[in-house]
Structures are given as C-alpha cells and as structure tokens.
Structure 1
Amino acid sequence: MSYTRRDILKLAALVSLSPWLPACAPNDPNTPTIKPTTTSNSPVTSDSTPQVIVIGAGIAGLAAAAKLQANGYRVQIIEGRDRIGGRIWTSRTWNDMPVDLGASWIHGVTQNPLTDLADTARIERTPTDYENSLVYTMDGEELDDAAVEQLEEQLVTLLDAVAELVEDTDDMSLAAAMQQVLVEQAESIDQPRLNFSINSTIEHEYAADVEELSAQYWDNDGEVVGGDVIFLDGYDQILDQLTADLTIHTGQPVNAINYTAESITITTNTTTFEAEHVIITVPLGVLKQGRIQFTPPLDATKTDAITLLGSGLLNKTWLRFPTAFWPKEPEIINYIDEQKGRWAEFLNIYHYTDSPILLGFNAGSYARMLESRSDAEIIADGMQVLRTIYGQEIPDPEAWQITRWGADPYAFGSYSFLGVGATDALRDDLAQPIAGRLFFAGEATERTYPSTVHGAYLSGLRAADEVMQA
C-alpha cells in the first residue's frame, strides 16, 4: 500500500479537498435555477436511429460521444436531468460569481487531459496552495507551525504502521487497523487532533469514513503529478469543449435496458430509444439503487462490483456574507472539533475573488447527518464553528448554496471508494463490456484515477475505443 499520492502530497497542509460533488436542496430560494439544455426531447425516428446511445451527459458520456462522433459514428446521448454535466454543476444563481456545486479542481495538472482541454480553450485557472492554510482549535486558538508539523508527523507515522500491519492480515477497515496500531498509545493521544488529521486528509479525499474504507486498498490508485487548479469562471467551461454538434436528449431518465434482441431498447419515463451499442455512464450510486432494470439481468461479476464498491459523500456549503470578517490569507481555514468531521475545512473564496464567500466541506457520516437537516440548521451549525474562530459578532450569511449529493436521484452519492472487502479489480469488473454491446464508463470504472474528473473523462474515451473495436 502506498500513500504518496494526492492526499498525502498535501499532508503538510493537513488538507485534501476533493474533486467532485453535490446537489442543492429542493424548494430552497438559494437553489440554482437550471438553464434547460438546447437539445431534443423528441422520440428517435427510424431515419435517425443511432448506432450508439450514451446514457448520461456527465463528462464520461460527453467524452465518449464526442470521440465516437468524430470517428463517424451516429451517436445520441440520453440524460435524466434537465441539464448536462452530471457531477460537474456550475450554478450561476449569483450573477457576479459562478459557483461550482460539483467538481472544483483539476487534480494534478501535469499530463492531465483536462489541462489540454483548458489550454486549447484558453480557460483561466487559478492554483490552490494547500500550504497556505491555518488550523484552529475548538477554543478558537490558532495552532502554531510546530503543532501543525506534529499533527503531520503523527499521521504519517500512523499510516506507516498501518501499512506494515495489513501486509500480513486479512482486510479490515482502516479505522480498525488504526485502532490496533494505537492501542498502546491511547492515553497519550489527543483524539480530536488526530481525528481532524484523519478526516481532513483521508475522509474528505475519499468521501467516506475510515470505518468504511478498506485498510488494504483505500488508496490503491495512481499518483497525480503537478499542482491543483480551480476554475474561477466555472468548471462548466470544460463541458463546452465537448458538446459541439452532439445530440443530447435531456429530461429522459432511463429505467430499463433490454439487450435481448439484435437492437438494444432503452426505455425512459416518456419514450423508447434503440441502438446497436449502448454506453452506460450513470454514477455508481444509481446502479447500486437499481434504478435501471437490465434484461437479461447483469451477471454476478457485474452485480458484485456494483455491490462491493462504495459510493461516498462529500457536500459543499457556499456561504456569502455582506462583508468579509476573516483575512484574505490563508487559502484554507481548518477547524478541529470534538466531533470528528464537523466543518473541518473551508476554502477561502475571498482570497481568489475579493467576494466575501467561504466554501465549507463536510464528508462521510457527518455529511450524511447534515443532509437530513434544513438549510437553516446546516447554516447554524457552520456559523457556530465560524463564531468559535472569529467571534460572536460576525454576521450571518446573506445567501447560500447547499449541496445534498446523497439525496440526488441522479447520483446517490459523490464518488466511489474501496470499502472493506473491495479491491481495485472491481473497477475493471464494472468496466467490462457485455457481449460487445453494453459498455460502461464513469469514474467508478477507472482503476488508475477513480473519483476524479479526469478519471471519468479517460473512462469515456476508453469506452469509445471499445465500441470502435467491437
């Protein structure tokens, strides 16, 4: 097991902000207004029957469709939402400030295909310096550099010991492995500080609690190279590079795929489509919920992969204030609470844009708990943390946008992880084509760069290649 990857590379700053996520609360005045995609919702006629149907207009589906169409294939995309992008979702509710409710970063800009897309379109990007961060305690005190370094060393030592332990044991949760290592040190450990390190470095990265993650395989994916960048004008600019001349049917959630006959039939809530080949790019969470009925049913290898791979949760809370009561530095504001995972990270948007905005992250079980609460309760909880740091006199936010990816019926989670009993080989099983007719793409099918936007993009290109070779 190796942890010299994107999360541990950022360990010196004790933060690992993730690439994916999230879905706004329904009936909320701050919920983004979605612009309908200029596409067709009409049934496919015999004259326009495509060779390939792509299910899902996230970046995996768009990449697959664009590549196939460029190679002369007749392609159409079916999308359940009334927008494109999937877990890339740029809200433009605030006229002066695009808000990414889903993906935020290109992780590892070197030799990253998204960098090439952004370069070609001359899209402006801003680097994130994870070392430009501060850590506050539940007493509102700022940790000094020595204390932060001690936290870093403590976690690295712990992960080294866990890696050695699991070499000779059956799989267990990462939490259980940590507990075994720490059993003789329990009295000397500052548990809230250790929990903060674990949550901000591991649980935010993988959108899952260490109680859920496999001790053997939790970080068994490829190392990214180069820094991370964000799109101040919105991640949806990347989508614009892929959608030219594509036919996309929005508002068409798929509920059945029948591949018994020579022509595959796809049934949505309102109509049916037919094609020779189908690429399925819906999120793992949707497959786990059984929202699509397959005829004949998927085989055991495929269903085992769907069952054993985990669908994690990382949610965002964008808070806009009348004025900034916090400094322009740092880029990251961290908080240590008695309860693990409680508002451990804020991205300082004010640092990048001069707008008085903070972006809070919550992951795993704490994110799931918050999803069941009202916007007012979520904001009150976050403000209690901010008032601990900056004082009771600070104002309430004047606007907000809150994501609930776990409740989103087109996602049921943020991105995938490897839980206890799972291995990265399951991603290959999920990606495996069926009879040269059904193909699968999406971040959960990407073994080297799962849980990332560029991983999803690469999976779409791979699925397109498989169709062309079928």
Structure 2
Amino acid sequence: MKKKFNRRDFLKIASIGTATAIALSCGAIQTAPPTAPEPDSLPTDIPQPQVDSSSREAEVLVLGAGISGLAAARTLADKGVSVILLEARNRIGGRMWTDTSLGLPLDLGASWIHGVKGNPITALAKQFGVETVVTDYDNGILYDFDGRELSEDDYKEVEDLFESIYGEVAQMQDDTDTDMPLQQAFDEVVSKMDLSTEELHRLDFYIQGQFALELGADPDNLSLWEWDQDEEFGGDDVVFPQGYNQIADGLAKGLDIRLGVKVTHISYGADGVDVETSSGTFSGEKAVVTFPLGVLKQAAVKFDPPLPESKQSAIDRLDMGVLNKVYLKFSEVFWDEEFEGISYLGEETGEWCDWLNFVPYINEPVLMAFHGGAKGYAIEELSDDAIIAGAMKTLRVIYGESIPEPEGYLITRWGRDPLAFGSYSHVPPFASGEDYDALFEPVDDVLYFAGEATSREYPATVHGAYLSGIAAAEEI
C-alpha cells in the first residue's frame, strides 16, 4: 500500500507559504521568454450568446469578455445601463477557457475556485447550478528521479529544513532597507548552510511548486517585500468537472457581446469614448478596460491621450507570469488512479515535476502536467512532438516502458497568446501592492479599469478579476 504524499504541506510551509530558488539546472528546456506572439491555435467550441449587433453606441463600452468584463457588464446591465461588450477572441472567458475537442471538458486556463468560503465564484457556481469537486491536497504521491517512491521521512526532512530557512528570510523581509529579489534573500541564507547536492535538489523542487507553479514566476523575479502582499479566502479549493466556462456562460446570458472585435485605439475625453476596432468605431459615455496586464505592457492598444504617468508606471513595474498546461488523454489508466497529485523529482528541476490525475474528477484516463515561470515560457519554444516526447519519457521512468502513447493531447502557450501575453500578474522587485491600486484607478471619470492585475487583495485569481469588474461598474 503506497503512502499518501501531502502535496500542500510539502509545497507550502504551513500558512506562511514562502520558499527559495536555488536554480540548480537548466536542462533541455531553455529558459528564454518568447520573442514573438502566436495566435490562439487550439479549438474553440464554447457556444456563444446570440446578440443584436446593429448598434455601435452605448452608455458604457466594456472592452474584453473575460471574467472581469463579464462581471462589469452584468452589473451595469442589471442596473439598466446600456452596455456593449467588445471581445477580440471568437469566444468569451479570456483566460478562462474550457476546451472539449478531446470529447470532454478540460480547462486550459483557470481551473480552481481558490478558497470557497466567502468566495464570490462559489456563490455564482451555486446560482448557476454548477457542479464542483474538492481537490484533496493530502492525496498525492512523490517519485524520485529514478521512479522510486520517496518516503514520508524524505520530504519531511526538506519541509523541516525550509521552516528553518524561512525564519531568516522573513526576518530579512522585515529588516532590509531596500527591496531585493526573493531569490537573493534565500541565496544569502542558503550560502551559510552546508547542504548536499541532493538536499539542494530537493529544495529546488520544493521551490518550483511554491513559486513557479503557484505564482507563475520564479523567485528571482519576485519582490522580497511584496510578493505575498495579497489576501486569500478560506476553505477548500474546488474544480469544475464540466468546465469553468459554465461560470462565464452564466454571466453572459442576455448581454450584448460582439465577438471577433479587436480594439486598436481608444480616444477619450469630456465628450466620452471612441473605440476604434477591427470592425469599425464604437462610442460610449464611458468605457471599462479589462485588457490583461501583458497586453497593456505590450502597448498593443493606443490611448489618446496617453494614460497618466502614475498608471503607466504601475503597468511598467508589475509583471506577467505564465503557467502552462499539457493534457494527455489515454485509452486506459496505467497510474495509481486514487492519487490526485503526482509529483516527480526529476533530474531537471521544473520539468514534468507536477501532474494532476483527472480520474477522481471526471472518471476519464487523463493526466495534466504544469510548467510555470521560466520553464513555462521555455516549453513554448518546443514543438508539440518534443513536448509529448518529454512527457512520455517522464511517465515511462515512473510507470515503465510498456505504457501506451496518448490518444490525444492539449498544450497551452499563454506567453505567446497575443491577447494575454501570460497567465496572471505578480509583484517583481521594487513593485508593490500600490501598483495594483494605481492600475485600477479611473482616468478622468471616463476610463475605468478591471482585471486580476487591478485587484490588490486578490491578484492572479478569477475571484479577484470578478470582484474588480463589479468594483469598476460600481465606480461608474
């Protein structure tokens, strides 16, 4: 009988949740970020609401039909405000994206409600009658680089070591006069310790789960002072067996949504807003801008007049991370189907180290692997064939050479998506929570902003994006 590996306890240090990065290896997957965007290539088959596309004027234009745009439009429309929602994609949801091309719903972007207690997405799930299933972080298993199962004592040693390291880093967080990369702080602590190569490697695995797979960024791009400035809801994390799109579809009902309309230029002033798009010009008294931080950083949309310096500086200081997924669908289950989490302490840290078993959620033979941070960007440089070969090499180390090839797969490349340029925001060195506030701040009572990168309390979350959309609508 295999021992259950407590993933949450191993990847997070109790409730204080901090760790280090040692950056021991840079294997076959290189770590340079992408240099050129590529359009969405995966199938999109989410049914869309039918809307009247005759008018080009409304009291409020909402730019972007992700969760924040849907929340803003829904709130305004329910108050009797006329709203047109413009979306560049041929689907709603933005970074919430449920794909069904493999014959079952699989979320390519957001997957979880993080903390169900008091979470507004929990309330929406109940309102729309959407099924959720709890993720049991205690139900996992960890394998070493040779496929051997690691014992409880092995990972307990690493956890204890991290608790001792954290105390010193937390003190530096309080005592330093100047911000620095979180990596630098941990390097200073670790440099004073006599650790073996094996201990360093296991620490590096721990860090990968804590940062790159949780925040989409490595510690060398996180602020020592501010990386953990956000808040959390309590309770379990849950997934949607039939897809997160059910939340987007519920919010979208009855809204005037124009799909395939790409915004290129926004002119605003005392007379209102004119929005130039790939489908002509739309006009409104006000507009809610919900573009992802990555799009704002690329200056892909022009503002006339330019955005205030305070807002542009916040855009420049905050950064966008990435978390990519690889789904593999098999003809049969060859793994331990009772374990939800499968972790692999491979020779190359960060490559194929974190897997989710979907049998407990949808009773289908599907595995999904995460790559985050630098490794998340790096995997985007590889071909589909190379990615699948890397995944299968790891699975054969654990489960043997006789396992079958996948009969289908899905691969995300959020860093190359020209309508996202990443997965979600984080606070790099010398940025702060105040930058989220600055990004939310309206401009001239005409332009309003929403999205996860405008939520100081809950950045990088669906609930943060949703609440920001409501807040922008309430400001209007």
**TM-score, normalised relative to structure 1:** 0.91
Match of 1:352 among 344, 350, 361: 361
Q: How does 1:56-455 map to 2 (within 5 A)?
A: 56-95=64-103, 97-169=104-176, 170-188=178-196, 190-260=199-269, 262-455=271-464
Residues in 2 aligned to 1:295 and 1:286: alpha-carbon distance in whole angstroms: 17
Pick which of 263-272 and 285-294 moved more: 263-272
Residues in 2 aligned to 1:135 and 1:348: alpha-carbon distance in whole angstroms: 13
- Superposed displacement of residue 10, structure 1: 6.5
Cα RMSD after superposing both structures: 1.9
**Aligned length in residues:** 446
Structure 1 153/187 Cα, relative in aligned 2: closer, same or farther at 3 Å? closer
Aligned partner of residue 325 in structure 2, secondary structure: strand
Q: Percent same amino acid at aligned positions?
A: 43
What residue identity is the alignment partner of 2:461?
T
- Superposed displacement of residue 268, structure 1: 0.6
Q: Is the 8 A contact 2:75 2:470 kept in 1?
A: yes
Residues in 1 aligned to 2:12 and 2:398: alpha-carbon distance in whole angstroms: 18
Residues in 2 aligned to 1:397 and 1:27: alpha-carbon distance in whole angstroms: 23
Q: Unpaired runs of 5+ in structure 2?
A: 1-5, 14-36
Residues in 2 aligned to 1:121 and 1:259: alpha-carbon distance in whole angstroms: 36
**TM-score, normalised relative to structure 2:** 0.90
Offset from partner CA, 1:391-416 (integer Å, 9 cap, x none):
12211111000000001111000000
What residue identity is the alignment partner of 1:14?
L
Offset from partner CA, 1:297-344 (integer Å, 9 cap, x none):
011111111111010000000001121110112100011123221112
Q: Confirm or deny that 1:44 pairs with 2:51.
A: no
- Superposed displacement of residue 260, structure 1: 3.4
Q: Confirm or deny that 1:14 pairs with 2:19.
A: no
- Superposed displacement of residue 135, structure 1: 0.9
Q: Unpaired runs of 5+ in structure 1?
A: 1-8, 17-23
Aligned partner of residue 186 in structure 2, secondary structure: helix
Q: Is the 8 A contact 1:11 1:152 kept in 2?
A: no
Q: Is the 8 A contact 1:279 1:440 kept in 2?
A: yes
What residue identity is the alignment partner of 1:455?
G
Aligned to 2:22: none
What residue identity is the alignment partner of 1:174?
L
Residues in 1 aligned to 2:321 and 2:194: alpha-carbon distance in whole angstroms: 29
What residue identity is the alignment partner of 1:412?
F
- Superposed displacement of residue 188, structure 1: 3.5
Q: Is the 8 A contact 1:109 1:115 kept in 2?
A: yes
Residues in 2 aligned to 1:417 and 1:10: alpha-carbon distance in whole angstroms: 23
- Superposed displacement of residue 227, structure 1: 0.5
Offset from partner CA, 1:333-368 (integer Å, 9 cap, x none):
011123221112100012322211101000011111
Residues in 1 aligned to 2:44 and 2:91: alpha-carbon distance in whole angstroms: 11
- Superposed displacement of residue 39, structure 1: 4.4
Structure 1 423/26 Cα, relative in aligned 2: closer, same or farther at 3 Å? closer
Q: Is the 8 A contact 2:39 2:417 kept in 1?
A: no
Pick which of 348-357 and 306-315 moved more: 348-357
